[in-house]
Structure 1
């Protein structure tokens, strides 16, 4: 419990406010305090606006397909078999589009080697605060597991499909290059799990 509180404090500091710290991955149900309408004000010079922050269902998690060699050595398909993710807009850009959004809730992604039918059900139900930037880049501050992919030469992790778990930052450029900064935790190579 002490480690979780320390990690939340670190993530809150990275987010710039304690009010935006994600709940732990085990905390799947919004508390009464979380479901009340709150506002968050920024003091930066980017003229961001206040946004009501109530938990609501997030858009469905999209499935994905990659041919052999794109992410794994074989063709791979992934789809959500459990998706109860909720979101809360914490801050908006001046045009009203989301700038900072918190996500949490159960998410299980089934990753299948479509050449053999071998599959693995990956827990991807981490909690995150995602900053959406005008240039299309993103910064994810995450606590718990998330499923993501890396293309060849597309970041600081080898090509593949991974569950990343722990406390970490994922920076994604507009061209989808990803930089993973682990604070605590590790990665699980899902291509290796479904290679048979």
Structure 2
């Protein structure tokens, strides 16, 4: 899943607003640490019209903390590494392996909001935002602004979205 100048990303859990125990990943180079994505579930109507389960089948994501807040929590982090997430409609069993191996610099704000500068594909779950409710692979050069209330704004320089709910409906 490697791209020529890009080696991936994911904080699927953060993007989806889900919580679960983290898995394993491989760090590479000084300062880089594993940033595994956890399996997650969403109820019917939350993202898709049906319940969805997501689980990494390839997860080599690493992170590098570039800056911290005064309390020591991460302020700016870069993420990269291969990530493929199997997204499954739990009512029908239909599944799709989504490549979310983009690269991003994420600014974590003290109010709980986040600002992502992204190159390549990332899995984005939307409950409220400038995209319709759903699960998407957003691919290209873009930013993702996640407000403290969870509202997501994707601003594309160039790229496309892939509706994962439609793929597994």
Q: Which TM class, normalised by the smaller chain length?
A: 0.7 to 0.9
**1:145-180, Cα deviation, whole Å (9 max, x unpaired):** 0001111xx110001100000010000011211000
1:140 aligns with 2:134: no
Contact 1:67 1:75 in 2 (8 A): yes
Rounded to whole Å, the distance in 1 between the matches of 2:7 and 2:156 is 20
Contact 1:24 1:144 in 2 (8 A): no
Q: Which residue of 2 aligns with 1:35?
A: 29
TM superposition shift of 1:27: 7.7
TM superposition shift of 1:25: 2.2
Change (3 A) 1:191 1:159: same
1:189 aligns with 2:163: yes
TM-score (norm 2): 0.83
Task: Give the root-mean-square deviation of aligned CA atoms.
Answer: 2.0
Other structure's SS at 1:61 match: coil
Identify the match of residue 55 of structure 1 among 17, 22, 32. Answer: 32
Other structure's SS at 1:35 match: coil
1:159 aligns with 2:133: yes
Q: Which residue of 1 aligns with 2:13?
A: none
Change (3 A) 1:135 1:26: closer
Identify the match of residue 52 of structure 2 among 73, 76, 101. Answer: 76
Q: Which residue of 2 aligns with 1:17?
A: none
**1:78-130, Cα deviation, whole Å (9 max, x unpaired):** 11111110000111111211100000000010000111100000001100000
How do residues 105-184 of structure 1 correspond to structure 2 at under 5 angstroms? 105-151=81-127, 154-184=128-158
Aligned length: 149
Whose helix fraction is larger, Structure 1's or Structure 2's? 1
TM superposition shift of 1:190: 0.4
